Amino acid sequence: MLIKLIMFFFMMINMSIYMFSSPLMKSFMVILQVPMVSLVIFFFMKSSWFPFLLFISFVGGILILFIYSISMLENETFLSLNNFSILSIFGGGFFICIFFNMILTDYLIINTQFTTSEINNKFIKKLSFLNYFFSKSYYKSSLMLILYLFLAMIAMMKIINSKKKNY
């Protein structure tokens, strides 16, 4: 049920990207998509390391694009809010707060019912999965992510240190 709801939000954000023409709003929509993609990957893989690294790399790339588009934009308004859009923004925020409240209360109720031995068993299972995640079968994907982050860092340093600066 939770995955279906996340996928529904994901599809709604995908459809709303085409309604905006400003690069700032499009990057904001991509920023909204990143946690949802990370959550879906977390639910399928049952590990938090790969979605976390994916989230960090996406946010780093979006911040670079955001800074670039801010420097290229003129002083123009990119968002005109009418009553319906203000209502939908606050309604969506209210719905998300209620949704996360329901998830957290269910999570806290479930977690308080465990004994210490069950918690230790779950911790050992997570550690064994973490060892499996960084084993030979996954080293290529981990290496590609590390190389991507390294190249993004080099590109960012080249952009910052370039002699030709466009403001």
Assigned domain for 167 exists:
no
Considering the domain boundaries, does residue 96 fall inside one? Answer: yes
Mean pLDDT in consecutive groups of 10 residues from the start of the chain, 167 residues: 72 75 75 81 77 83 75 58 59 62 53 55 58 66 77 78 62
Report d(CA 97, CA 75) in Å as an integer. 34
Please state the domain count of the chain.
1
- Tell me whether residue 118 is in a domain: yes
Query: What single DSSP character describes residue 145?
Result: H
Residue 84 has a pLDDT of 58
Residue 166 lies inside a defined structural domain of this protein: no
Global pTM reads 0.41
CA 27 – CA 65 distance, rounded (Å): 8
In a domain, 140, yes or no: yes
- The answer to the question of residue 165 being in a domain is no
**Domain with 118 in it:** 2-160
Is residue 98 one of the residues assigned to a domain?
A: yes
Whole-number Å distance between alpha carbons of 61 and 59: 5
Structure-token pair, residue 107: 């999570």
